[in-house]
Structure 1
Amino acid sequence: MAHFPVNHPARPLYRVFAGLVGVYILVFGVFGVVQTWGEPLFSRGSHWALGLRTNLAFSLVSVLFGLVLIIGASRRGNLGHVMNLTAGVVFMVTGIAMMSVLQTRANVLNFSMSTVIVSLLFGLLLLATGLYDKIGTDEHAEQERADRLHPAR
């Protein structure tokens, strides 16, 4: 069974990190949409936004995903915890999947190796923020802390 720290003292800092990732993704998506507007959705052109290669489809998805991350970082409760864990897995899986098809026609999101690296880094950062972003009652936090320090034998 997973033991996520509850009410971690650095939780606000982790929420800021997740929010900054969301802001970067949103700004990247907006710049990408502006640069690629009018081109085919899955174009394989050489459009770059904020150091990452993109196409219209990837830019539109980035705008939506950035908004979702910002909303998750701004909400109280465990919604951000679940969203960050999920987003971290999505970023990791997408990065690995796109790395495996970089030089093929299956690279529909027009990834480059720099985009893969940023996707993997954001995935790790979001997973880390998700691991320490869980909140609960003081009793729940104390019980989790006690279980972690003195596990049942």
Structure 2
Amino acid sequence: MAHFPLNHPARPIYRVLAGVVGLYILVFGVWGVALTWGDPLFERDGDWALGLRTNLAFALVSLVFGAFLLVGASRRGNLGHYMNLTAGVVFLVTSLLMMSVLQTEANFLNFSMSTVIVSMVFGLILLGTGLYDKVGPPEHEEAERQRRNHPMSEVHPR
């Protein structure tokens, strides 16, 4: 089983970072919906919002994901941890899938290469924040701190 650090001292910073990503995605979604309202759901023309190409379907999905990430960032327990891990994987997989269909009719979310890159960066940020924002009981935190600072845990070359 993987070892996730518990009660990492920078956990609040990671939650803020995930919240900023969620806020950007939410604002992008609102702007995209306002821009593409009345267009067909999967239209593939040149509508751009906050530097990313969009259509109504992508803007609506962004609204949902932005709200999802803001909820995860506002939670103190492990819900945010699992939400960030899940969202990071979803962003990475979606960016790879949409990159593979970028110049085809299967590009139903109207992605551009800049959208793929931003999705990959957001996926990596969310995956990283999810790895370090797990919360555990205080006794686990103390045991982890002692394990890290124990003199025998360091490797000394002979």
Q: Counterpart of 2:120 in structure 1: which amino acid?
A: L
Check whether the contact 1:29–1:60 (CA below 8 A) recurs between aligned residues: yes
Quote the residue 2:139 is aligned against: 139
Taking the aligned partners of 1:93 and 1:147, their CA distance within structure 2 comes to: 35
Quote the residue 1:113 is aligned against: 113
CA RMSD of aligned residues (A): 1.2
- 1:22-33 equivalent positions in 2, closer than 5 A: 22-33=22-33
| Structure whose alpha-carbon radius of gyration is higher | 2
Per-residue deviation, residues 49-93 of structure 1 (Å, max 9, x unmatched): 000000000000000100010010001100000000000000000
Taking the aligned partners of 1:86 and 1:134, their CA distance within structure 2 comes to: 13
> Where in structure 1 are there 5+ consecutive unaligned residues?
none
Q: Moved runs in structure 1, 4+ residues, more than 6 A?
A: none
* Number of equivalenced pairs: 150
Quote the residue 1:62 is aligned against: 62
- 1:40-119 equivalent positions in 2, closer than 5 A: 40-119=40-119
Q: Secondary structure at the match of 1:83?
A: helix
Per-residue deviation, residues 119-147 of structure 1 (Å, max 9, x unmatched): 00000000000000001111122334556
TM-score, with structure 1 as normaliser = 0.94
Quote the residue 1:6 is aligned against: 6
> Where in structure 2 are there 5+ consecutive unaligned residues?
154-158
Taking the aligned partners of 1:35 and 1:105, their CA distance within structure 2 comes to: 22
